[in-house]
Chains A and B, each alone.
Chain A
Amino acid sequence: MKYVTEYRDPELAQGLAAEIRSLVTPGEVVHVMEVCGGHTHAIYRHGLEELLPPEVELVHGPGCPVCVIPMGRVDDAIAIAETEGVTLATFGDMLRVPGGNGSLLEAQARGADVRMVYSPLDALELARREPERHVCFFAIGFETTAPATAVTLLRARAEEIPNFSVFCNHVLIEPPLRVILETPGLRVDAFVGPGHVSTVIGSDAYRFIPEEYGRPIVVSAFEPIDLLQSIAMLLRQRAEGRCEVENQYTRVVRPEGNPRALAAIAATMEPRRDFEWRGLGVLPESALQIRKELAAFDAERLFTLPGARIEDPKACRCGEVLTGQIKPWECGVFGTACTPERPLGTCMVSSEGACAAFFSYGRLRRPREEALVGA
């Protein structure tokens, strides 16, 4: 497993940790936000925080695609799943996300036909195999997963599959980043940029971060060595007085992204006027909807959806966690009313969510980080 082990080499890691230590000023804390949930997961799974000096504080960002889906949309998906003759297919980690009316797993237990798939193409294959049922794919994710949905839509149209649709919840990465950057009292000095999203949109897409907001960003891959190297690159930028977009994930990410993937998205989807984000509220032009030309495959046109806006539970502070204003354990219900077993907020649902990752892997380190929050 060459490609796994070489990015997890302990000696390389120690070398990078030493470099990071040499780049910080003692006592001066740099707050680095990793935007992507995949990064959050990797940081906790490999215990990376213990390799960092106390002057580097990681803040977990909004890039967990499951975590940002509002409860009302989950209820809409459940309504589709509970329609007679309909099968709802979606990714595994969406199944446990609570809506106002329970989760998809609970709907499945009540008798709804909910199936887990690994790709929207698997959902299309289901539709081909079971022509007597309507198969709806509950599409979520940033620009990362949108191209696969786009290709599936194009294929469904080319093959004239009559019993397939997509409930489109694809979101864009730039709007929530702007919300974070415009948060009063912003606690983020530098960004580790998302890797998989960037393979599609390219590293140039983040130029607004240094240019408009004066924060450096390094697009990073997902292995522990990648993350340490990206943090070192950010600190070097600061030490050298630079503030720009850099790309650590050069083995996959290009400045201009992937033109074919972008073209597929553009051919099938267009920006929505606005979209509600869990914890962040309604953000203009922050999500994608299916183009009119593909209306025959658009679940939002085919089904009557409740479309309700459901307030997040009052005690839940997912929004502040997602924007890096508080650490997971600073939320009053963290680990008490809200646990991975019974999540109140979505940050506790997916293992990529900041709260769940912290609860499952990191809660021992709390005293050390708490001490720093006050600093």
Chain B
Amino acid sequence: MPEATRRRRPVLRDERITLAHGAGGKATRDLVEALFLEELGNEALASLGDSAVIAPLSGRLAFTTDSYVVRPLSFPGGDIGALAVHGTVNDLAVAGARPLWLSAAFVIEEGLPVSQLRELVASMAAAARRAGVAVAAGDTKVVERGKGDGLYVTTAGVGVLEHDLVLGPERLRPGDRVLLSGTLADHGMAVMIARGDLELEGDVSSDTAPVHELAGALLGLGDSLRWMRDPTRGGLATALNELAAQSGLAVRLREDVLPVEPAVVAACEILGIDPLYVANEGKLVAVVAEDAAADALAALRAHELGTAAVEIGAIEPEPEGMVLLDTALGGSRIVDLLVGDPLPRIC
């Protein structure tokens, strides 16, 4: 009888993660098999080999990695598990790839309730299913109490480009249009409010979601699609500043059409924070040729995550490397790179 079938089914009875779960012995095996495999299970992972071995893919590959550190671990609209899938899936998607495989490494702080870990991993599994990716490789480590914020997750992802398009800032032309798939600043403000330090309450939910289908819809435009990004940390302003700098062109935005939820506007006003600089986790910003803008917008709006999609601006020849904003009042200003963290103003 093969070894695997003779072994008893592993059970995880502990209420909290201890250093033993990271020591590589029986407790580690129980954690991996009774929690991670049970929630994330798929063929590649179940073999528990040192590497996932996957069949050859045809087409260019996209490969990316990101670490996820968020306090609190769960917040309205999502948690670190979903975030760790969406963030990496979205990085692949905006590169024009169809996301396929993820790896996930968990650094767990001693004392984390096992039930909480299970919920977070289950959420990760649900997010992976929705995004059509498999977690094919994983690792866990346990650090002493006080040396981590409960849980850090690092995911890497592989996707395949099933077309010949080359996307990038060098493809921008003056006159191109800038499209945004939905409202700004939901994720960053939801997390800031959920932390509870601000004694602010508000009905704000993170937008964490996979944008691969939105990106896929735009890929149908062919050469008219120039560039895509998911404006996460640093917000839309940072993503567009990088685009302007890399392309040597200018981006001009219209403030009056920028979509922001009323509760997010209110929280930003109270804290003196500009929603343009706040993180999003389920949004896509794209530059498309002027004559394809209407089709692109229609393609975005046809998807449930893109119903609020809007054209927010255009590419101009100058001033080189800058992002400008026509304010709702009829003035204009520079949208600069942020220095350091956004620090709330005092009065």
Give chain B residues whose Cβ lies under 8 Å from the Cβ of A10.
256, 328-330
Beta-carbon contacts of B331-347 to A below 8 Å, as 1s and 0s?
Answer: 11110100110011111
Binds A, one of B57-65, B73-81, B261-269: B261-269
**How would residues 193 to 232 of chain A score, 1 for a CB under 8 Å from any chain B CB and 0 otherwise?**
0001000000000000000000000000000100000000
Q: B266 to A50, Cβ gap below 8 A? A: no
Decide if A268 is an interface residue (CB 8 Å cutoff).
no
Contacting B343 at CB < 8 Å: which of A41, A96, A361? A96
Query: Could you tell me if B262 and A362 are in contact, using CB atoms closer than 8 angstroms?
Result: no
Q: For A1, give its contact among B262, B332, B347 (CB under 8 Å).
A: B262
Tell whether, in the assembled complex, residue A65 and residue B346 are in contact, meaning their CB atoms are under 8 Å apart. Answer: yes
Asked if B1 is an interface residue, CB under 8 A from chain A, the answer is no
- Is the Cβ of A340 less than 8 Å from the Cβ of B346? no
The answer to whether A8 touches B345, judged by C-beta atoms less than 8 angstroms apart, is no
Q: Is B319 an interface residue (CB 8 A)?
A: yes
Which residues of chain B are within 8 angstroms of A340 by Cβ–Cβ distance? 339
Distance in Å: Cβ of A208 to nearest Cβ of chain B: 23
Q: Are B331 and A1 in contact (CB under 8 A)?
A: no
Specify which of A116, A142, A224 is in contact with B329 (CB 8 Å cutoff).
Answer: A224
Q: Closest A residue to B334 by CB, please name it.
A: A361
Given A51-B329, A224-B329, A351–B345 Cβ distance below 8 Å?
Answer: yes
**Chain A residues whose CB sits within 8 angstroms of the CB of B324 once the complex forms:** 364
A1 in contact with B340 (CB, 8 Å): no
Query: Is B55's CB within 8 Å of the partner chain A?
Result: no
CA distance A93 to B272 in the complex (A): 11
| Residues of A323-375 whose CB lies within 8 A of B | 340-341, 350-352, 359-364
Give CA–CA (A361, B327) in the complex, Å.
12
Which residues of chain B have C-beta atoms less than 8 A from A8's C-beta? 328-329
A140 within 8 A of B: yes
Question: Within residues 296 to 326 of chain B, which ones have a CB less than 8 A from any CB in chain A?
Answer: 319, 322, 324-326
Taking CB atoms, residues of chain A closer than 8 Å to B331 are 46-51
Interface core residue of A1, A224, A364 (most chain B CB under 10 Å): A1
Is A70 on the interface with B (CB-CB < 8 A)?
A: no
Complex interface: chain B residues within 8 A of A351 (CB): 272, 345
Would you call A1 and B266 a contact (CB within 8 A)? yes
Task: Give min CB distance, A132 to chain B, whole Å.
Answer: 16
Task: Report whether A141 and B347 are in contact in the complex, using a CB–CB cutoff of 8 Å.
Answer: yes
Q: What is the interface size of chain B, counting residues whose CB is below 8 A from a CB of the partner?
A: 31
Given A1-B262, A364-B334; A93-B329 close (CB under 8 Å): no
By beta carbon, the residue of chain B nearest A339 is B339
Q: Which residues of chain B have C-beta atoms less than 8 A from A4's C-beta?
A: 265-266, 269
| Interface contact A44-B347, CB-CB below 8 Å | no
Q: Which residues of A in the span 44-77 have a Cβ within 8 Å of any Cβ on B? A: 44-51, 65-66
Q: Which residues of A contact B4 (CB under 8 A)?
A: none
Which A residues touch B322, using CB under 8 A? 364
Assess the A196–B343 pair: CB atoms within 8 A: no
Q: Is the CB of A361 within 8 A of B347?
A: no
> Once the chains bind, are A47 and B327 in contact (CB under 8 Å)?
yes
Contact B346 A93, beta carbon cutoff 8 Å: yes
A361 to B334, CA, bound (A): 5
Question: Does B198 belong to the interface (CB within 8 Å)?
Answer: yes
B239 to chain A, nearest CB (A): 17
- Report A129-152 residues with CB < 8 Å from chain B CB: 140-142, 144-145
Q: Given A13-B329, A46-B327, A340-B339: A145 and B347 within 8 A (CB)?
A: yes
Query: Among A1, A51, A91, which residue has its beta carbon within 8 angstroms of that of B346?
Result: A91
User: Are A96 and B340 CB-contacts (below 8 A) given A65-B346, A145-B347?
Assistant: yes
* Cβ of B199 to closest chain A Cβ, rounded Å: 8
A118-B330 contact in complex given A340-B339, A341-B339, A360-B336, C-beta closer than 8 Å = no
Q: Are A92 and B269 in contact (CB under 8 A)?
A: no
Query: A95: CB under 8 A from chain B?
Result: yes
Q: Once the chains are docked, how many angstroms separate the CA of A41 from the CA of B273?
A: 12
Q: Is A25 an interface residue (CB 8 A)?
A: no
Are B334 and A360 interface neighbours, CB within 8 A?
yes
Complex CA distance for A95 and B331, rounded to whole angstroms:
31
- A367–chain B nearest beta-carbon distance, Å: 12
Q: Which residues of A contact B (CB under 8 A)?
A: 1, 4, 8, 10, 13-14, 17, 37-38, 41, 44-51, 65-66, 91-96, 105, 116, 118, 122, 140-142, 144-145, 196, 224, 340-341, 350-352, 359-364
A/B interface sample: 7 pairs, CB < 8 A: A13-B330, A47-B332, A47-B333, A93-B345, A96-B340, A196-B347, A340-B339
Q: 10 new A-B pairs (CB below 8 Å) besides A4-B266, A45-B333?
A: A41-B345, A47-B331, A94-B346, A95-B343, A105-B340, A116-B344, A118-B344, A122-B197, A361-B336, A364-B319
